Amino acid sequence: MKEYKLSQLRNLVLMGASGAGKTSLAEQVFYLTKSTNRLGKIDEGNTVMDFDAEETAKKMSLSLSLGWLNHRDHRINILDTPGTPDFIGDAIVAIPAVENVVLVASAAGGFEVGLELAIEQLEGRKVGKIVFVNRMDNEHADFYKTLESIHENTGLNPIPVQLPIGRESTFEGVVDIIRGKAIRPSGEGEIPAELQAAVEDARLHLMEAVAETDEELLNAFLENMELSDAQLMQGLKQAVAQGDICLAFAGSAHSGAGVLAWLDAVCDYLPSPEEANPLQVLKNGEPAEFVASADGELLGYVFKLYADPNMGDYAYVRVFSGSLKAGTEFYIPEKEAKDKAGNMYFMLGKNRHDTQEIRAGEIGALVKLKNAKVLNSITAVGSNLSLPMPELPTPTYWQMIRAANQSDEDKIGSALQRVIAEDPTIRFDLNLETHENVISGMGEQQLQLVLKKLKNRYKVDAMMKEPRIPYKETITASAESQYRHKKQSGGRGQYGEVYFRIKPVERGEGFQFINAIVGGVIPSNFIPAIEKGLVETMEKGIIAGYQVVDVSVEVYYGSYHDVDSSEMAFKIASSMALKEGFKKCRPILLEPIHDLTIIVPSEYMGDVMGDISTRRGRIMGMEQRGKKQYLNAQMPVAEMYFYYPALKSFTQGRGRFTQKFSHYEKVPDEITAKVVAAWQESEA
Ligand SMILES: Nc1nc2c(ncn2[C@@H]2O[C@H](COP(=O)(O)OP(=O)(O)O)[C@@H](O)[C@H]2O)c(=O)[nH]1
Ligand SMILES: [Mg+2]
């Protein structure tokens, strides 16, 4: 492979709604630049980027994939991401791996929720962003309306640098307003007469937008009411690299019109890795700036794992500085561990091209790493550098998961680990209260895909169902209780008797055991058995099968038998005394309550607030930010587990939320009665 200088490299991630045409655009550019020799189609399931079996079956991207091409002595790396909100994690993690985000919008689809979500991920990030208005060949395609609707709904203001020539069936190419040329698949020409005025307008609009990003340029612009070509180019590149301006393009991934013109613009107007310097890094854990260079210190980033069942796990890696060479050791600061780069590749979909090194500015894949995972830095052994990592959204959807057949129980663990390592937003925990394995993430589609991968790749049948609510049991009053366990028929007998005072304690105090036995009415060697009887009973639950918390039990009296008393006898007596006493103490259930921040366009606020109260939620406050309302609320987990699908349905998919545990709170009596009855039935 040819050695490219940093200035000849461009790294792009394609983001936007599912169906906008990201994968088709990638396919078209690979074909037009002869990276591939045939044009694959989504509908035929033969594109370069959607190579996974699940993707070809669904005819849509479900996971990030990598590709590259050469154009005009530049090398362009393209990361294609899935547009479904469930799979946003891949894109969030990929953004720091590139200098440029290409927001692919459909010219014909109306405003797209997936695009809005993508744009939200760019807030506050210093990354180049451009809008590619695709599907210009489509019925109802409207370049200007699409840009307007993006501006109106998200506040992002894309400024055209290329204008479409024609639309729908007459869409034939674009005019580049900086170069002043019409560019059609057949070649370059003069600007069509009917577009002259629009091009003039757009050029002035672009100059104005560029001038507004820099004081010196603004003064120059105000003086002459225009910028020189050199001023415009320099200001434009600078503004794009800083993320201060968003350029807009038009094209059709389907016909290819506008696509090569856009690739030219990628080379001419978008920042190279060199222009993105300095990088924000951490030095000994503290924020610092770092100038990346081809012969500088090694610094890289792992942004995707792909578990190929036959070839092993691929780690997709961006190298920012220095060079990662095959056969060398490197360090992962987040793991405080070393790893070794074995074989390495440049990936075009699933096709591997061997390489001996991945140089600064390039993106490649490593295999058989021992320690490195997604969101890890790659540094030289002994380095004090690392990269700040993007924050991931909290889960919004939960399911318990287990093997469908008991015989698969041993296999499911390791297969599940490999599958979920591919998607950084999926979490997997054993819930200590309900003893269920709970898998959580961004939505149903995402978790269903986990089941499919388990089956197709690892031959494990798994099932999911609603998780149990991790209720807890506690009491609201004090009582005394007594139990004598006595069995003295035949053989060695059993004998133990305890007297308890049972009291509620403060929320969060857990279990307190007080030994108030005096005068040896129970010998001290039996006291631990009494405590053990209590702990075991509390773990199992008393009224509904949930852990008992926030209770104090004082053993203050009892009796024993010289021969028949045993630890077992006292354990049983203790357990029985607690069970009987507990029921006299007005027991209740506690349920976990979470803090939610719900983010919706303002027009849905009324519906969202009404719905929260039907879910036993409490509104804690709200704040308007841009076009969105941020609503803080508290909601019981029992309602939150099912909240996301509902929120999506009455906000046309535009609502979302983040959440975290807040506290435990009393369950309303009528719900407690139902939970208790259900448990009694299952025990009967
Ligand atoms: N008419 C038309 N259809 C397109 C265009 N780009 C993509 N499509 C179709 O739109 C559907 C979704 O395309 P895809 O590339 O999978 O979109 P993605 O989800 O953004 O990757 C497929 O059926 C494509 O054939 C385009 O420019 N024009
Ligand atoms: Mg796609």
- Domain ranges in the chain are 6-194+245-276, 279-386, 397-468, 473-585, 590-671
Can you tell me which residue has the tokens 């100038």?
Answer: 291
CATH of 397-468, one of 3.90.420.10, 3.40.47.10, 3.30.70.870, 3.30.70.1140: 3.30.70.870
Residue 398's pLDDT band (boundaries 50, 70, 90)? very high
Shortest CA distance to 118 belongs to which of 77, 85, 96, 151? 85
pLDDT over 70 (residue 113): yes
Q: Indicate if 590-671 has the same CATH topology as 397-468.
A: yes
Asked if the 279-386 domain carries CATH number 2.40.30.10, the reply is: yes
The predicted structure's pLDDT at residue 682: 87
Give first-to-last CA distance, the chain, whole Å: 71
Half-sphere exposure of 246 (CA within 13 A, CB side): 23
What CATH architecture is 6-194+245-276?
3-Layer(aba) Sandwich (3.40)
pLDDT tens profile 329-361: 999 999 999 999 999 999 999 999 999 999 999
Q: What is the Cα–Cα distance from 100 to 598, expressed in whole angstroms?
A: 29
What distance in Å separates the CA atoms of residue 191 and residue 261, rounded to the nearest whole number?
14
Measure 253 CA to ligand 2 centroid, in angstroms: 12
Per-residue model confidence as pLDDT tens digits over 355-389: 999 999 999 999 999 999 999 999 999 999 999 99
Q: Which ligand does the CA of 27 lie closest to?
A: 1
What pLDDT, on the 0 to 100 scale, is given for residue 502? 98
When pLDDT is cut at 50, 70 and 90, the band that residue 1 belongs to is low
Q: Is the pLDDT of residue 407 over 80?
A: yes
Ligand 1 touching residue 23 (CB < 6 A): yes
CA-based torsion, 413, 417, 423, 429: positive or negative: positive
Q: How far is the CA of 60 from the centre of ligand 2 (A)?
A: 5
pLDDT in tens, 208-238: 999 999 999 999 999 988 899 999 999 999 9
Phi and psi of 35, rounded to 5°? -70, -30
- Looking at residue 556, its pLDDT comes to 97
150-173 per-residue burial string, b: 16 or more CB within 10 A, e: under 16: beebbebebbbbbbbbbbeeebbb
Contact assessment for residue 355 and residue 69, using Cβ atoms and an 8 Å cutoff = no
Give residue 57 CA to ligand 1 midpoint distance, Å. Answer: 16
Beta bridge partners of 611: none
Cα-to-centroid distance, 306 and ligand 1 (Å) = 24
What the block records as the tokens of 46 is 């033969």
Q: What's the pLDDT tens digit per position in 477-532?
A: 999 999 999 987 777 789 999 999 999 999 989 999 999 999 999 999 999 999 99
Centre of ligand 2 to C-alpha 62, Å, is 8
Looking at residues 23-36, what average pLDDT do you find?
Answer: 96
Whether pLDDT at 566 is above 90: yes
Q: Which of 14, 15, 18, 42 to mutate to test the pocket of ligand 1 (most atoms within 8 A of CB)?
A: 42
**Model pTM score:** 0.91
Between CA 585 and CA 598 the distance in angstroms is 39
Q: Cα(378) to centroid of ligand 2, in Å?
A: 29
From the CA of 134, the nearest ligand is 1
Q: Which pLDDT belongs to residue 411?
A: 86
Q: Starting from the CA of residue 82, give the closest ligand.
A: 2
**Whether 81 contacts 13, CB under 8 Å:** yes
- Check if 60 has its Cβ closer than 6 Å to any atom of ligand 1: yes
DSSP per-residue string spanning 511-564:
EEEEE---TTSS-GGGHHHHHHHHHHHHHH-SSSSS-B-SEEEEEEEEE--TTT
The CA 47 to ligand 2 mean position distance, Å, reads 10
Q: Looking at residue 492, what is its pLDDT?
A: 79
Pairwise CA distance, residues 111 & 119, whole Å: 12
Measured in degrees and rounded to the nearest 5, phi and psi for residue 466 equal -55, 135
Return the exposure string of 488-506: e unless at least 16 CB atoms fall within 10 Å of the residue's CB, then b.
eeeeeebbbbbbbbbbbee
- For the chain, the maximum distance between any two Cα atoms, rounded to a whole number of angstroms, is 112
SS3 682: helix
Q: Is the CB of 182 under 6 A from ligand 1?
A: no
20 within ligand 1 shell (Cβ under 6 A): yes
Question: With 90 as the cut, is the pLDDT of residue 110 above it?
Answer: no
Fold of domain 590-671: Alpha-Beta Plaits (3.30.70)
Residue 625 pLDDT class (50, 70, 90 cuts)? confident
CATH ID of 473-585, from 3.10.450.50, 2.60.40.10, 3.40.50.300, 3.30.230.10: 3.30.230.10
Residue 131: which residues within 8 A CB-CB, separation 6 or more? 102, 103, 104, 105, 147, 150, 156, 158, 246, 247, 248, 249
d(CA 188, CA 183): 5
Determine the distance separating the centroid of ligand 1 and the alpha carbon of 106, expressed in angstroms: 9
Instruction: For CA atoms 441, 369, 83, 358, give the dihedral sign.
Output: positive
* Mean pLDDT, residues 603-608: 93
24 in contact with ligand 1, CB cutoff 6 A: yes
**Measured from the CB, is residue 227 less than 6 Å from ligand 1?**
no
Question: 106 CB less than 6 Å from ligand 1?
Answer: no
What are the Cα distances from residue 334, in Å, to 212, 297, 365? 40, 18, 19
Please report which ligand is nearest the Cα atom of 250. Answer: 1
Mean pLDDT of 310-330: 94
Interatomic CA distance for residues 319 and 45, integer angstroms: 31
pLDDT number for residue 276: 87
Cβ of residue 42 lying under 6 Å from some atom of ligand 1 = yes
pLDDT above 80: residue 2: no
Judge contact between 664 and 593, C-beta under 8 A.
yes
| Tokens found for residue 636 | 């019981």
Could you tell me the two tokens for 356?
A: 């001996």
- Rounded CA-CA distance 426/248 in Å is 34
**Structure tokens, 516:** 């108030």
